[in-house]
Structure 1
Amino acid sequence: MTPATAETRQYLAKRERILDAAAALVNSSGVRALSIADVADSVGLGTTSITYYFRRKELLVAACFDRALDRLDRLVSLAEQEPDAERRVTRYVEENFAMLGRVARGEETPVARLSDLRALDEPLRGQLIGRYLTIYRRVRHFWDSDGSPLQRARQTARAHILLDTVFWMPAWLPLYDPRDYGRVCHRLLELLRHGLLPAGAPAAGLETGSLQVPDLATSPFLAAAIRLINTRGYKGASVDLIAAELGVTKGSFYHHLDGKDDLVQACFEQSFQWIDDAQRQADAAGGPHGERLVKAMLSLVTRQLSPSAAPLLRNIALHTLPQAISAQVMAKSRRITARFAGTMIDGITDGSIRPIDPWIAAQTLMVTLNAAYELRHWAARCGLENAMATYAQAFLFGLFNE
């Protein structure tokens, strides 16, 4: 071994230690809270040692996301080796569970979650998002297509649900012992393959032409804030931009709220209220619990895909909140998820929902609803009703139902 080779290996090993520490901090506190000093403390180095490798915080964060995209690329490549759509999806999910199992056992280090990509400034944000979209297009081609608009729309909806479901598994998978990951993987795959509703169940309310857009009126102030935070991230949704979109002064903003943390909390509270309203209105309509869940889901997917509606705040904003407030928001989110799980249990009992794992299915439904906002431009091209039906059917009847 030459001295140069040993020096290079030492350099790379220290760089990896820095990226490991930075990724852990991004996952726990978000890009906004990350500092060079915190990373230095985590690895027992001085800040000058960190800046020797990464001159600025933004370059360090970008390197973390680039490494996460490397791992995503490898997992997608493994899935692409399979001969058909179902086996590609199965391989992709199984490989992710295997990787998360190694992370839980300390055999592999976690990478930064990609949900915070938008927190970066240009040109780094555009470069990384461009790389992600290239991988996303490969996942779309897990499913063969005849090139028709319907098949292309199904590819988009299915790939979006699959990717976001897997991206958010680290948020709820720690509830299980790593020794049970195989069972959890099997139950999630059953849901992705066959959906929530029994085979041959009537798609009540999903037929194009029968969908009705619910009343989506809301506070213009919160609507503008949610749209900007979802699109630009916490850092990019400045008080100046929010005030400009509403045509008010910064003073008017601070008349409503003390600061941006209060704003994010208010946006989450409003989002949870919309979900709660959809659940309770569906229950008030009566009928089998499977139909109630479909009604609630359609109301919320409509909100997410309609260009005129205020959407739900994306879960990525959780990282921007102080820990005490974030804990309150997470507790509320768990109660809403538990309510969906309760509806599913009642649906299994009355036969309107397949015998699935209600907690895994409820978590997947929450991710599916939250992620739908990203497809607004797609919905505009497909037509709102077609997009709503295609997206909902992918969850309700599985990723392979034609």
Structure 2
Amino acid sequence: MGNDSGVTANPPTGRAPTRRFEARRNAIIASAVEELNRKGVRGMTLGDVAARLDLVPTGVIYYFRNKEELAAACFMRAIERFDQLIAEAKAAGDDDRERVRAFIRLYFEFKRRACSGETEQIAVFNDVRALNKPSVNEAYTDMFRHARDLIQGPPGAEMPRPDRNARAHLLLSEIFWSVAWMANNPKEDFPRVGERMAAIMADGLAAPGAGWPFFTIPRLTRDDDPRAEASAELFLRAATELINEEGYHGASVERISARLNVSKGAFYHHNETKDELVVACFQRTWEIMWRAIRAAEAEGGTGLKVLAQICTALVQYQMAGNLPLLRTSALTTVPESINANLVRQFDRVSHRFASILSDGIADGSVRPVDVNVAAQMVTAMINAAAELHVWAPGLTAETAAAHYVRPLFEGLLSPVAG
């Protein structure tokens, strides 16, 4: 790792690092990755990292001045790993299809090896923005550009930059979200699961010859919502935005209050506890998702039409400036005391997506796919729409369906929709 990485590369004395120094530093990073993936940037402490290694906190500070520097080292290592996988994928074939499928296969094989103890785990990027370190942000943006290079379009008909951006965001988001559900499978099956994801990314969910269906976009907000009262809505929005940006621990009472420019006393006037507000944020997200599901199912049609309608409605909702949906990746840092119930609620949504996909396979509108994998990919696509404006600037709520939703249904490398 170079000196521009923002982390200490040499012992404090300035001498060249010894093998022992590098070994201990690597052990600290590995320990920090475990804490970072469980608690996020805000929740990780040097004390917890040190305790995993039977060290005192000062033993960690000898290598990293503070937890932000340590978190940066974790993220930089993860970015380096992804850059390696992307480089290997680029060398795997001459066309986009071969490169994209190779990238997904390589990632799932890496995760198999990591879960088997054959190589080190890496940090997940759920709340990398919470660190807000320029060197990490720059490296992450470069990684995104490298991933975008996997998607070029056919020779002589290169894909426009906005579409490559949207599809690269979709590809990476599917990979990042997979850590939340791949553990439902034995680690020996990770390559098999990766092949199934790769097939969906390459060929899409729609059956061959199935055209993009026509549907109306249901209204997902309700004036009679019991939480539609203005002050409650403000707290929901502030908490949801902070959790999406910085994880559960980043959305402290102090930070939520500061975002609204109110006192902690005002916070507790409207909310019993922070966890009560967090649960309310999740509850609002489920209600919006179920409204979309119920509306599409009530209108009827093929499985493809119902699912496309749900996805388009939710992505448009995300991008229209409404109260955002809570990113499901926030579950990774929520305390165990409330996590289990939240996971069950999201599983119910995922199971419904799988059921709709099964309906589509039965009626011939959806190609035969692994519905469990596909349902998680649908969730990831909806989830990642919250950041689509960052990585694909210029897309609007009205154009997102054509340039972001349809590639999951028609294939990541499908022609750009008009």
Normalised by the length of structure 1, the TM-score is 0.89
Which range moved further: 356-365 or 54-63? 54-63
Look up the match of 1:110: 121
Please identify which structure carries the higher helix content: 1
For 1:302, what is the secondary structure of its paired residue? helix
Look up the match of 1:165: 174
1-structure distance, mates of 2:28, 2:170: 32
Q: What do the CA deviations read for 1:202-227 (whole angstroms, capped 9, x no partner)?
A: 2113xxxx864734455343233323
Please list every run of at least 4 consecutive aligned residues from structure 1 whose deviation after the TM superposition is greater than 6 angstroms: 146-150
Superposed, which structure 2 residues align to 1:372-391 within 5 Å?
372-377=385-390, 381-391=394-404
Look up the match of 2:100: 89
For 1:69, what is the secondary structure of its paired residue? helix
Alignment partner for residue 411 of structure 2, among 383, 389, 398? 398
Alignment partner for residue 271 of structure 1, among 285, 310, 314? 285
Q: What do the CA deviations read for 1:53-93 (whole angstroms, capped 9, x no partner)?
A: 11212211111111111111111111222322111111111
For 2:310, what is the secondary structure of its paired residue? helix
1:242 CA drift (Å): 4.0
Task: Tell me if the contact between 1:154 and 1:394 (Cα under 8 Å) persists in the aligned partners.
Answer: no
1:104–1:150 CA distance, 2 compared to 1 (3 A): closer
1-structure distance, mates of 2:313, 2:355: 19
Look up the match of 2:185: 176
Q: What do the CA deviations read for 1:281-326 (whole angstroms, capped 9, x no partner)?
A: 11111122221111111111111222x2122112332244211211
2-structure distance, mates of 1:200, 1:15: 55
Q: Does 1:186 align with 2:195?
A: yes
> In angstroms, what is the RMSD of aligned CA positions?
2.6
Q: Does 1:154 align with 2:163?
A: yes
Task: Tell me if the contact between 2:303 and 2:363 (Cα under 8 Å) persists in the aligned partners.
Answer: yes
- What percentage of residue pairs aligned between the two structures are identical? 38
Look up the match of 1:36: 46
1:323–1:351 CA distance, 2 compared to 1 (3 A): same
1-structure distance, mates of 2:56, 2:98: 48
1:143 CA drift (Å): 1.7
Superposed, which structure 2 residues align to 1:228-243 within 5 Å?
228-234=242-248, 237=251, 239=253, 242-243=256-257
Q: Does 1:133 align with 2:137?
A: no
Superposed, which structure 2 residues align to 1:194-233 within 5 Å?
194-205=203-214, 212=217, 214-216=219-221, 219-233=233-247
Look up the match of 2:24: 14
Pairs aligned (count): 391
Letter in 1 for 2:151: W
Q: What do the CA deviations read for 1:351-397 (whole angstroms, capped 9, x no partner)?
A: 12111100000011101110011013566623432222211111111
Letter in 2 for 1:142: L
2-structure distance, mates of 1:296, 1:235: 31
Alignment partner for residue 371 of structure 1, among 372, 384, 389? 384
1:148 CA drift (Å): 9.2
Task: Tell me if the contact between 2:203 and 2:411 (Cα under 8 Å) persists in the aligned partners.
Answer: yes
Look up the match of 2:373: 360
2-structure distance, mates of 1:23, 1:245: 29
2-structure distance, mates of 1:45, 1:252: 41
1:104–1:319 CA distance, 2 compared to 1 (3 A): closer
1:220–1:36 CA distance, 2 compared to 1 (3 A): closer
Look up the match of 1:328: 341
Which range moved further: 315-324 or 73-82? 315-324
Which range moved further: 220-229 or 61-70? 220-229
2-structure distance, mates of 1:241, 1:27: 21
1-structure distance, mates of 2:259, 2:187: 47
2-structure distance, mates of 1:355, 1:316: 28
Task: Tell me if the contact between 2:126 and 2:247 (Cα under 8 Å) persists in the aligned partners.
Answer: no
1:33–1:378 CA distance, 2 compared to 1 (3 A): closer
1-structure distance, mates of 2:199, 2:87: 23
1:149 CA drift (Å): 11
Task: Tell me if the contact between 2:196 and 2:370 (Cα under 8 Å) persists in the aligned partners.
Answer: yes
Q: Does 1:343 align with 2:348?
A: no
Look up the match of 2:86: 76
Q: Does 1:293 align with 2:301?
A: no
Letter in 2 for 1:192: M
1-structure distance, mates of 2:339, 2:68: 24
1-structure distance, mates of 2:390, 2:62: 41
